[in-house]
Amino acid sequence: MTGFDEDVVIVGSGFGGAVAALRLTEKGHRVRVFEAGRRFEDEDFAKTSWDVRRYLWAPGLGCFGVQRIHRLPHVMILAGAGVGGGSLNYANTLYQPGGAFFADRQWAGIADWETELAPHYATAKRMLGVVERYPHSGPVERIMAGAAEDLGVGSTFRHAPVGVWFGKPGERTADPFFGGEGPERTGCTLCGNCMVGCRVGAKNTLMKNYLALAERRGAIIEPLRTVTEVRALAGGGFAVTTRRSGAWLRHGQRTVTAREVVLAAGTWGTQQLLHRMKHTGALPHVSDAVGRLTRTNSEALDGAVATRVPESLALASGVAITTSFHVDESTHVENVRYGPGSNLMGALATVMVPGDRSLARRLGGVVVRALRSPIRQFRLGSLRRWSERGIIALVMQTADNSLTLSLRRRFGRLTMTSAQGHGEPNPSHLPQAHRAARAIAARMRSEGGVPAEARGSWPEVFGIPLTAHFLGGAVISASPADGVIDSYHRVWGHPGLHVVDGAAVPANPGVNPSLTITALAERALSFWPRAGDDDERPPQTPVAG
């Protein structure tokens, strides 16, 4: 088939989709990006997380914010929404994973990934404006350093690499990254609300780099368009059907055709499409391995909170994540903060209880603690000034555990569900996270002289871990029996369809995955031909095992 509406349609505008949009327009392709979320200017973001309509994503209820929350039987997922995807509400933290990630057996035999990805990590760091070491230090950073010392791992403590324009606080300046071709920027004011949406203009979201440059080169970005179908056409190419996000009646459904399609809707969105299109026959050749090796980064969200904190302690001042340390070889801990007033996510926090107990005993532990010290537990659990009284501990592991996702019919509708997958069982709690949270609480007491206590989360009490880094399920593989895409990110059986987002990541990186997703996308797009040139990528051939 010839005469497509577009050369390439990209589904999603996060780290993978943004890279695809820029690199393909640079190569002369006609590109259209569909994004389910809305477009934000700096002043459009919520001032605090209590502005639910601008903060949370629930389009059917009129909430078009940046924070998605999804639920599966084995995990609760925090993700992003909007033009720029997860970059709008991520913690602008850009670590490169260690050797265990590149050596994972799922993909180690395909290439020397650490060596091959090295130049693409360098490009990703330059494009995302990575500052290798957070340049400030305050009470939280001292508490984290002290907690690492108390745990006997002080040598692993470091300031985080972050994607922020620090400049002069609050001062507007011409683009400092791309020779003036990018948008103007404003120096970071350390307000702490990176994950609610940066109203200052300091955070290096994808709208400040990849997407801004892609639009200058002709990419068309359509916000508030949810892709409902990607169908392989008999003569080649694809038909992509969209509808208006959140519409109850006037859906505005329409279809465009494209020679090739890039799926970059985030792990949740990309898996939804692949599962559904395989089920309906729109993409009949998608591997039966879809949904396998879905990863949560073996993650936990715990922390410490005080009943009161003096103004001088300033726990909420800084960017979202500033430091980290390793509890052990495979377990990485970062401090996380929201800015003053952004207290909504505190509703997920509760008493920390041992995770190896039954549900009844875990719930009983919460009740007993509340009855023993009702006033103290009320004050600890209060959302008033929660972000100014606590430190969230984000804990990630390189452990080889996974979930398998599939479709099930419930109440007449097809929905995604989960089961334990390959490797160790996906953990419902991490003892290392509890140790870290207790050490942080102890340092808050000794450093700040405040009554602090380690805290867990309600999902953890119910045996459901939280993750902000949902990955995999359409992973790189040597053959369609082992995964969904080849080493060029082409879907096995549908080589004109590509997965270029977190769904392609084959293992738990044990650190924030945004830089890795960007590097993988840079590598994948580097192989694409310029418009009109021959495609030098080899035909899809499974690698002999």
Active site residues: 469
Query: Kindly report the CA angle at 90 between 243 and 415, in degrees rounded to 5?
Result: 40
State how far the Cα of 325 lies from the Cα of 323, in Å rounded to an integer: 7
φ, ψ of residue 543 in degrees (nearest 5): -80, 130
| 3-class secondary-structure state, position 213 | helix
State how far the Cα of 234 lies from the Cα of 456, in Å rounded to an integer: 52
| 3-class secondary-structure state, position 142 | helix
Tell me the two tokens of residue 321: 């994540």
CB 289, CB 493: distance < 8 Å: no
State how far the Cα of 56 lies from the Cα of 64, in Å rounded to an integer: 7
Residue listed under structure tokens 């009983």: 364
State how far the Cα of 71 lies from the Cα of 196, in Å rounded to an integer: 20
Helix axis angle, 113-128 to 514-526, nearest 10°: 110
Nearest CA to 272 out of 82, 100, 447, 474 is that of 474
Residue listed under structure tokens 């290798």: 132
Nearest CA to 91 out of 304, 302, 318, 269 is that of 318
CB 18, CB 82: distance < 8 Å: no
Tell me the two tokens of residue 60: 């059917």
CB 158, CB 325: distance < 8 Å: yes
State how far the Cα of 363 lies from the Cα of 467, in Å rounded to an integer: 21
End-to-end CA gap in the chain: 35
Tell me the two tokens of residue 209: 């780099």
Amino acid at 187: G
Question: What are the Cα distances from residue 310, in Å, to 315, 450, 541?
Answer: 10, 8, 63
Question: What are the Cα distances from residue 341, in Å, to 65, 89, 193, 466?
Answer: 17, 16, 9, 22
State how far the Cα of 176 lies from the Cα of 313, in Å rounded to an integer: 33
Max Cα distance, the chain (Å): 73
Tell me the two tokens of residue 463: 């045996």
Beta-carbon contacts of residue 402 (< 8 Å; ≥ 6 apart): 292, 293, 294, 295, 421, 422, 423, 426, 472
Beta-carbon contacts of residue 191 (< 8 Å; ≥ 6 apart): 200, 317, 339, 340
